[in-house]
């Protein structure tokens, strides 16, 4: 008796690349904006493609047309958020008033930008990157460029020189502000945050040789 080979299920056809038209670009931007909002609100893991498609008012097929894979969505999202964040940082860097202290302006600006929607979404992706290789790969070049203060950004203002002392001032300011932005201050949050930020400014002044150690906590 001749055996009939088992039929294999047909694989779904690969989605065609989305055409680069004004309508397509608007739809992609809508998807990415909703993805960023959902990541901020419910986290990267919960903001899956189906949830994002529903929020953007698209069918699953329409979503796949623009972003065939999770990898393409994450890569597009990182690029989208990085462009928005870079614009905010460049604007803040240009906004320093003539004669204003460079370090103080950088600290105040970075604290404000840490609460801006594109930066919040990137920070959520950064947290996901610790355990998700896909996100880590997409974020790698952006994270490295930011750490080196390569873009025309507020972060570059923390590092007018390349000495270990200036690097330490920049790192202290950056990581204290990032940690403070993520902290759960359960009482007097605004007062405690303001106190720490003012103290940070004095510490950076000392590191930049613009003050004395005694100025860090003046009585």
14: phi > 0 → left, psi -120 to 50 → alpha, else beta; which? beta
Domain that holds residue 108: 78-215
Q: Is residue 47 part of a domain?
A: yes
Phi, psi of 112 (to 5 degrees): -70, -45
pLDDT at site 211: 65
pLDDT at site 208: 77
Which pair of tokens denotes residue 106?
Answer: 């950088």
The DSSP secondary-structure symbol of 2 reads: P
pLDDT at site 148: 78
Residues 82 and 63 in one domain: no
Q: Is residue 10 part of a domain?
A: no
pLDDT at site 216: 66
Residues 37 and 64 in one domain: yes
Residues 60 and 114 in one domain: no
pLDDT at site 18: 58
Distance of CA 25 to the CA centre of its chain: 22
Cα–Cα dist 10/206, whole Å: 68
Residues 82 and 185 in one domain: yes
Which pair of tokens denotes residue 212?
Answer: 């004395």
10-residue block means of pLDDT along the chain (219 residues)?
Answer: 42 52 92 97 95 95 93 96 92 88 90 96 96 96 83 60 77 92 94 94 83 64
Q: Is residue 3 part of a domain?
A: no
Distance of CA 163 to the CA centre of its chain: 27
pLDDT at site 96: 86
């Amino acid at each position: 008796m001749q055996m009939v080979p088992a039929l294999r299920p047909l694989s779904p056809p690969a989605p065609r690349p989305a055409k680069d038209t004004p309508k397509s670009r608007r739809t992609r931007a809508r998807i990415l904006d909703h993805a960023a909002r959902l990541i901020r609100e419910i986290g990267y893991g919960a903001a899956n493609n189906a949830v994002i498609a529903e929020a953007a008012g698209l069918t699953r097929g329409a979503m796949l047309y623009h972003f065939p894979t999770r990898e393409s969505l994450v890569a597009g999202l990182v690029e989208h958020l990085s462009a928005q964040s870079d614009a905010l940082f460049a604007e803040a860097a240009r906004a320093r008033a003539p004669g204003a202290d460079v370090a103080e302006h950088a600290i105040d600006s970075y604290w404000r930008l840490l609460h801006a929607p594109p930066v919040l979404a990137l920070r959520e992706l950064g947290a996901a990157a610790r355990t998700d290789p896909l996100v880590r790969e997409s974020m790698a070049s952006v994270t490295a460029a930011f750490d080196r203060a390569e873009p025309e950004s507020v972060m570059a203002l923390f590092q007018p020189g390349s000495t270990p002392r200036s690097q330490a001032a920049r790192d202290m300011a950056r990581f204290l502000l990032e940690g403070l932005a993520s902290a759960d201050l359960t009482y007097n949050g605004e007062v405690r945050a303001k106190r720490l930020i003012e103290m940070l400014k004095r510490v950076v002044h000392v590191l930049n040789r613009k003050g004395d150690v005694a100025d860090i906590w003046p009585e």
